A and B are shown apart, each in its own frame.
Chain A
Amino acid sequence: MSSLLKASNVESYIGLYTILHDVNLEINKGEAVALLGRNGAGKTTFLKTLMNLVSTRKGSIELEGRSIVGVPTHKIAKMGIGYVPEDYGVFDALTIEENLRVAMWKEDKETLERVDSVLDLFPDLKVAYKRMASTLSGGQRQMLSISRALVNENRIILIDEPSKGLAPVVIEKLAHALKAISKDATVLLVEQNFAMACAVADKYYIISEGRTVNNGDIKDLMQNKELQHKHLGVM
């Protein structure tokens, strides 16, 4: 299988501080990969590095063989990387409809059909279609943020901690939707909620103190209590 996204020996920094020291990751087309690790391990920074929101000092990042290091963020997005940030990233002063429409690069038949299927996935958004994003709950905002990344034909979707701060019932709904999404799309999911990661992903990478320290099949990790305890703090 050809690799869709490949990061090798990535080192990135914010201001004077080096956050990522040596991150290696490879995702193949159609895979759903979970990036796991404790708080402050560098998971979010890695996603931001992929989007060039954080600068890369060393190493290489390739999307289907093309380097994306130093490429402006908007061009990376246009190359087919959809990004769902940790803080949802929705536009509060716009309605759900406007948030989705602003994310569309074209308003052709295919895109509109994609929007319809996204709304089928998240019926809560359909009900509140004309409502301002500022009036939505945390779960609805997360759904909107994920939906926005799905309206275009992206090659890979980066999702940063979708379960953060949400009620268990909402997390369950989201996990169900993300599982459905991962059937058709390539997903890189950053997640602290181990159960959610297991429900969505096929593979995993563990990141610790800015370094990838382990990777493999998520089913193996589910069996390996010692590894879970050591790197994820799962009791």
Chain B
Amino acid sequence: MMITKDFSKKRLIILALLLAGLSVIPHVSGLSTITLFSRIFIMAIYAMSYDILRGYMGFINLGHAMFFGTGAYAVGVMFRNFGSTLPVFLIAIVFSVVFSSIAAFIMGKIVFRSGGKGPVVVVAGAMTTLALGEIVRHTAERWRSVTMGADGLSYRIPEIFSNRILFYYYALIFMIVMTLVLRQFVLSPTGRVLMSIRENEQRAEFLGYDTQKYKLIGLQVAGIASGLSGVMFGVLNRFANTELLSVQQTLNALLMTLVGGTGTLYGAIIGSGFVNIVQSQLLNFRSVHPVFERWLLFFGAMYVIVVIFMPRGFVGLYYTLTDKQKAKVQKSAVGKS
């Protein structure tokens, strides 16, 4: 486990400097950079929610976007129908939490029902989540009166969120608060049980844990975090469409988690930063050469490169390098003595 309760002085100083740097960005950057960073903060939580499943539970959920997309639709539909006010935003949050919790519970009851173990069960579970996610996406597409179908839904947002600079800070605070909450979760006894399930479910069972119950809790926590990031994304984007519910959106979370480092939580922030900046740059290059219209090709290649050369992502790479460095120092100290 790479995340620890201990915060060294050095770490705290780095975090404080990072926070100070991030606080300055809106005052020295253009609108597009501010929006890009707001997006990075929100998507980091979405990726973190996926990391809870993939990195801490060893569960592959291909329908994870259903929580994110529903969160975005919740604000969109409510702002359109009940007005773009702060109370409506709060109701959308409550709706997203309740929906994500119930949907994750149902999903978990279906997927974890077999209770089996091994790669076949993992793949079968992933396929079931894919099917469930597609059901939600198709329902949203057909329910035109509410979602506007494939055309998508545009809406006005409350005055308090319309200032991009202010929203940047809201997104930053959202990321910090959610990171602390999720960090606390993975460090809790429940988080430890989830990790033991990831390692070996049967062993967790004979230690006395009802693994089905714990997996349901993990899925619900991940679903709620994903839903809340969807709500924030909906406010940032001022537009929601069924793409937000698609498997592509789930794969985005998977890519961000892979790039940053699975099972590290903080890796999701780095992964979100890297993927969103690369995506934004590739889109900018469209005017340079038409090949950049096919930016998804580059993303596909990135998946392959990361899996082959950096299976533990950036954070994993960092830990490998520092471990090597420590070993080298120890070896030279032994040599001298």
Interface string of A77-111 (1 = CB under 8 A from B): 11000010100010111110010011111010000
Residues of chain B lying within 8 A (CB to CB) of residue A14 = none
B196 adjacent to A77 (CB under 8 Å) = no
Give the nearest-CB partner of A103 in chain B: B207
List CB contacts (< 8 Å) of B177-208 with chain A. Answer: 189, 192-193, 195-196, 198-200, 202-208
B205 adjacent to A74 (CB under 8 Å) = yes
Residues of chain B lying within 8 A (CB to CB) of residue A102 = 189, 192-193, 195-196, 204, 207
Q: Is A148 an interface residue (CB 8 A)?
A: yes
CA distance A228 to B199 in the complex (A): 40
CA distance A104 to B200 in the complex (A): 17
CA distance A73 to B196 in the complex (A): 15
Most A C-beta atoms less than 10 A away, residue of B203, B207, B210: B207
For chain A, which range describes its interface: under 10, 10 to 19, 20 to 34, or 35 or more residues?
Answer: 20 to 34
A94 adjacent to B195 (CB under 8 Å) = yes
Q: Is B211 an interface residue (CB 8 A)?
A: yes
Pick the contact of B199 from A72, A91, A104 — CB < 8 Å? A91
Q: Is B28 an interface residue (CB 8 A)?
A: no
Q: Is A213 an interface residue (CB 8 A)?
A: no
Interface string of B30-68 (1 = CB under 8 A from A): 000000000000000000000000000000000000000
B210 adjacent to A74 (CB under 8 Å) = yes
B199 adjacent to A94 (CB under 8 Å) = yes
Residues of chain B lying within 8 A (CB to CB) of residue A152 = 208
Give the nearest-CB partner of A84 in chain B: B206
Interface string of A9-35 (1 = CB under 8 A from B): 000000000000000000000000000
CA distance A62 to B132 in the complex (A): 43
CA distance A75 to B204 in the complex (A): 12
Distance (whole angstroms) from the CB of A87 to the closest CB of chain B: 9
B203 adjacent to A89 (CB under 8 Å) = yes
Distance (whole angstroms) from the CB of A123 to the closest CB of chain B: 23
Residues of chain A lying within 8 A (CB to CB) of residue B195 = 91, 93-94, 98, 102
Residues of chain A lying within 8 A (CB to CB) of residue B203 = 85, 89, 91
A91 adjacent to B206 (CB under 8 Å) = no
A73 adjacent to B1 (CB under 8 Å) = no
Residues of chain A lying within 8 A (CB to CB) of residue B204 = 102
Pick the contact of B208 from A94, A98, A101, A105 — CB < 8 Å? A105
Q: Is A190 an interface residue (CB 8 A)?
A: no
B196 adjacent to A83 (CB under 8 Å) = no
Given contacts A91-B200, A94-B1, contact A77 B205 (CB under 8 A): yes
Give the nearest-CB partner of A132 in chain B: B1
Distance (whole angstroms) from the CB of B56 to the closest CB of chain A: 11
Residues of chain A lying within 8 A (CB to CB) of residue B202 = 53, 73
Give the nearest-CB partner of B194 in chain A: A102
Q: Is B274 an interface residue (CB 8 A)?
A: no
CA distance A72 to B209 in the complex (A): 10
CA distance A73 to B203 in the complex (A): 10
Interface string of A56-73 (1 = CB under 8 A from B): 000000000000000011
CA distance A101 to B1 in the complex (A): 13
Most B C-beta atoms less than 10 A away, residue of A75, A83, A95, A102: A102
Pick the contact of A51 from B196, B198, B206, B210 — CB < 8 Å? B206
B192 adjacent to A89 (CB under 8 Å) = no
CA distance A79 to B195 in the complex (A): 23
Pick the contact of A93 from B1, B207, B210, B211 — CB < 8 Å? B1
Given contacts A94-B1, A98-B192, A101-B192, contact A78 B199 (CB under 8 A): no
CA distance A136 to B189 in the complex (A): 24
Give the nearest-CB partner of B207 in chain A: A103
Residues of chain B lying within 8 A (CB to CB) of residue A72 = 205, 210
Residues of chain B lying within 8 A (CB to CB) of residue A78 = 208
Give the nearest-CB partner of A145 in chain B: B203
Distance (whole angstroms) from the CB of B55 to the closest CB of chain A: 11
A74 adjacent to B199 (CB under 8 Å) = no
List CB contacts (< 8 Å) of B203-249 with chain A. Answer: 203-211
Residues of chain A lying within 8 A (CB to CB) of residue B206 = 51, 53, 73-74, 76-77, 83, 85, 89
Give the nearest-CB partner of B214 in chain A: A74
Distance (whole angstroms) from the CB of B125 to the closest CB of chain A: 20
CA distance A187 to B154 in the complex (A): 68
B200 adjacent to A89 (CB under 8 Å) = yes
CA distance A83 to B206 in the complex (A): 7
Residues of chain A lying within 8 A (CB to CB) of residue B198 = 93
A94 adjacent to B196 (CB under 8 Å) = yes
List CB contacts (< 8 Å) of A150-174 with chain B. Answer: 152
Residues of chain B lying within 8 A (CB to CB) of residue A94 = 1, 192, 195-196, 199
Interface positions of A (Cβ within 8 A of B)? 51, 53, 72-78, 83, 85, 89, 91-95, 98, 101-105, 107, 148, 152
Besides A72-B205, A95-B1, 8 more A-B contacts (Cβ < 8 Å) are: A73-B202, A73-B206, A74-B207, A74-B209, A76-B206, A77-B207, A85-B203, A102-B193
The 7 closest A-B pairs by CB, nearest first: A77-B208, A91-B199, A73-B205, A102-B192, A78-B208, A83-B206, A89-B203
* A–B complex contacts, Cβ < 8 Å, 14 sampled: A51-B206, A72-B205, A73-B205, A74-B207, A74-B210, A77-B205, A91-B203, A94-B1, A94-B195, A94-B199, A101-B192, A102-B207, A107-B189, A148-B207
